[in-house]
Amino acid sequence: MFGIKRYEIHSYEMGLFFKNGEFQGLLKAGTHWFFNPFDEVQVDIVSLRTPLLTHEKLDLIFKSKALQEHALVLDLQDHERGLVWIDNRFNHILSPGQYVFWTELKEVRVEIVDARKVRFEHIDLKVIARSVAAQRLLDVCTVERDHVGVLFIDGRYMDTLEPGLYAFWLGQSPALIAEYDLRETMVDISGQDIMTADKVTLRINAVVTYKVVDARKAASQTDDVRQALYRETQLVLRAVLGARELDVFLTEKDALAQDIEENLRRRAAELGLEIASVGIRDVILPGEMKDLMNKVTEAKKAAEANLIARREETAAIRSQVNTAKLLQDNPVLMRLRELEVLEKVAAENKLNIILGEKGLTDRVVNLL
């Protein structure tokens, strides 16, 4: 019939009734007839299976009291965010604005949180952080195992964070986490050209082992704690080695390393660090100095060998003198010594005795 319009609304649908552009109310499931010769009536049919209502005239619909029995109506302010749960499963996060959720077919629950508290904490944070909306509204970060995070909000220290997942609302006060490894870490101090007190230039390779014990200090005292430790070690090496001569350095390297460690430990404590050890790994001499040191070492070793030989000769001569004196003062001992010598001679297979003095034969025979 002319001017009559029919609308069929199913059980899982709802009709939005407009007349002359103004929202009039809701149309429930069933058949609805309207006399509409001048096209004044408009009915938009929406599905209740999709809880969130999206419509170009949502602001007009939002003001209607007809929604209260069939929908959840929200008006989020600038500082508010909404966590939407549908059928007890997390769905998404709402930014500020007006929202309508149908509650006829699905259970809808919205948690309203205050984003002025920049850090977002929730028992289901891991689930929420995986959502697409979280990537737009939340700054999600993770403090790794054996690490610690220093939290600054608006440039002010707020907290020291243990390993775990953390989230912060975007668009509020800026949040920054400075993360530090709590395990022992080594810094190589390589290729340091240092002049000793006796004007010898050495190239030193050292290694420093440290760990972070006060993360707040490490974050507040310098922008790069590792680089700061590197620079401090360079200065300490130059101060300690520059006050010693080459020979002292080469003979007392362990004591020198301990001295370097003590000087460095005081400065490291100001940076929130603890020095575990400092070691001098390599000492590289200039080519001409290396040759000179080799010559000195060679001469020293030769002198030591010559001295040892002279000592042995002196000891042997002294022993012979003592033996001769002992034999001279003891004729019987001299006689026994002569017999030992003849016994050794007689022990050979063949004994030839050539005598050149008359009467010596008798004396030898008598001796035997």
Cβ partners under 8 Å of residue 74, min gap 6: 82, 94, 98, 99, 100, 101, 110, 112
Tokens of 151: 């939290």
What is the reported pLDDT for 132?
85
Residue type, 224: D
What is the reported pLDDT for 355?
53
Identify the CA nearest to 5 among candidates 48, 14, 15: 15
What is the reported pLDDT for 206?
87
What is the reported pLDDT for 286?
66
What is the reported pLDDT for 273?
93
What is the reported pLDDT for 242?
81
Using H for helix, E for strand and C for coil, what is the string for the chain? CCCEEEEEECCCEEEEEEECCEEEEEECCEEEEEECCCCCEEEEEEECCCCECCCCCHHHHHCCHHHCCCEEEEEECCCEEEEEEECCEEEEEECCEEEEEECCCCCEEEEEEECCCCEECCCCHHHHHCCHHHHHHEEEEEECCCEEEEEEECCEEEEEECCEEEEEECCCCCEEEEEEECCCEEEEEEEEEEECCCCCEEEEEEEEEEEECCHHHHHHHCCCHHHHHHHHHHHHHHHHHCCCCHHHHHHCHHHHHHHHHHHHHHHHHHCCEEEEEEEEEEEECCHHHHHHHHHHHHHHHHHHHHHHHHHHHHHHHHHHHHHHHHHHHCHHHHHHHHHHHHHHHHCCCCCCCCCCCCCHHHHHHHHC
CA 93 to mean position of chain CA atoms: 35
Place of tokens 């949040």: 175
Mean pLDDT by 10 residues, the chain (368 residues): 80 90 89 83 91 89 84 92 94 92 92 93 92 88 94 92 94 90 90 79 86 92 90 88 78 80 88 89 68 61 74 77 73 68 64 56 57
CA distance 155 to 20: 55
What is the reported pLDDT for 358?
55
Residue type, 22: E
On whether the CB atoms of residues 72 and 108 are closer than 8 A, the answer is yes
Strands in 108-114's sheet, in edge-to-edge order, are: 89-94, 80-86, 108-114
pTM: 0.68
With b meaning 16 or more CB within 10 Å and e meaning fewer, what string describes 283-317? bebeeeeeeeeeeeeeeeeeeeeeeeeeeeeeeee
CA distance 106 to 101: 9
On whether the CB atoms of residues 115 and 169 are closer than 8 A, the answer is yes
